[in-house]
A = this chain, B = another copy of it.
Amino acid sequence: MPKLIGEARAQALASLPEWREADGRDAIVRTFVFADFNQAFGFMTRVALAAEKMDHHPEWSNVYKTVEVTLATHDAGGLTEKDIALARLMDGFARSAPSP
């Protein structure tokens, strides 16, 4: 799985307006805020099942109703299509959760 570069990288990032590039490394980050811990951990559980199936896992932290996510592909040393796919999936799960 090659690192995304050039126009392909730019297009992929443009398609994920809620994600931003990480500081100091080739990765993307997003902070999700849910209504409560139940919603936040429910989201994490849906993502965990999908991530395990994809064999591609997020780096993430959780404090009560907030989930901070960093996506990068370790083996590629940067951002790949796997990260874009996982970001899209997380966006979809988050959209289907009740608002904070």
Q: Which residues from B are CB-within-8-Å of A59?
A: 61-63
> Does any Cβ of B come within 8 Å of A57's Cβ?
yes
> Does any Cβ of B come within 8 Å of A29's Cβ?
no
Chain B: CB-nearest residue to A42: B48
What total of chain A residues lie within 8 Å of the partner, measured CB to CB?
15
> Does any Cβ of B come within 8 Å of A93's Cβ?
no
> Does any Cβ of B come within 8 Å of A19's Cβ?
no
A52: contacting residue among B38, B45, B63, CB under 8 A: B38
Q: Which residues from B are CB-within-8-Å of A51?
A: 37
Chain B: CB-nearest residue to A63: B59
| Cβ-defined contact, B48 with A41, below 8 A | yes
Enumerate chain A interface residues (CB-CB to B < 8 A). 37-38, 41, 44-45, 48, 51-52, 57, 59-64
A-B contact pairs, 8 of them (CB 8 A): A37-B51, A37-B57, A41-B45, A41-B52, A44-B44, A57-B64, A59-B62, A61-B62
